[in-house]
Amino acid sequence: MTLVRVVLPQPYRMASRVGTQIALHSTAIGKAILAHLPEEEAQAVIAAASPLISDTAATIVDPELLLQRLEAVRSRGHAIDEEENEANVRRVGAVVRDASGTAVGAVSIAGLTLSLSQDDIPLLGPLVVAAAARVSAAIGRNA
């Protein structure tokens, strides 16, 4: 997947860069997409990427645990990256769908764990989902 990024004027920078390929299993946007693929397709993607590479100590590398987390993403509506892709960085992401309803991308918000706490996630999740819905509508998805 390709990354597009908006950077706020902060004294720190995250490692993500536009055009960088990232693992689906360790990112909020990746998990948002995987969770909204047909189950067989998601399992095939995970199997093709196995063994799952650990980017940090928190990265989920057990395919069965990852599938459980994807179920939680589907029921919650948004995905969470708890320092799984980059240490000290937390992300919340939601799927973007095309006019046919196919998952074609995702949007996320990220911050250092010192400024984006776990308590913020229930507040930010619906906002990220709404942003993803607006992007989906812009590319032709009906509500």
Query: What is the third-level CATH fold of 24-138?
Result: Beta-Lactamase (3.30.450)
Quote the CA–CA distance of 106 and 89 in Å, as a whole number: 18
Q: Are 90 and 110 in contact (CB under 8 A)?
A: yes
Helical (H) or strand (E) element with 112 = strand 103-112
Which pLDDT score is estimated for 106? 93
In tens digits, the chain (143 residues) has pLDDT values of 445 545 555 556 566 666 677 789 999 999 999 999 999 999 999 999 999 999 999 999 999 999 999 999 999 999 999 999 999 999 999 999 999 999 999 999 999 998 899 999 999 999 999 999 999 999 987 75
CA distance 91 to 29: 9
- String of b and e for 72-92 (b: at least 16 CB within 10 Å)? ebeebebbbbbbbbbeebbbb
At residue 69, the pLDDT reads 96
What is the pLDDT at residue 14? 60
The structural domains of the chain, with segments of one domain joined by +, span 24-138
pLDDT at 11 (0 to 100): 56
- Is residue 117 classed as helix, strand or coil in its secondary structure? coil
**CA separation for the pair 7, 56 (Å, rounded):** 23
- Radius of gyration in angstroms for the set of CA atoms belonging to the chain, rounded to a whole number: 14
pLDDT of residue 18: 63
The CA-atom distances, in angstroms, between 73 and each of 5, 7, 14, 104, 124 are: 22, 25, 24, 16, 14
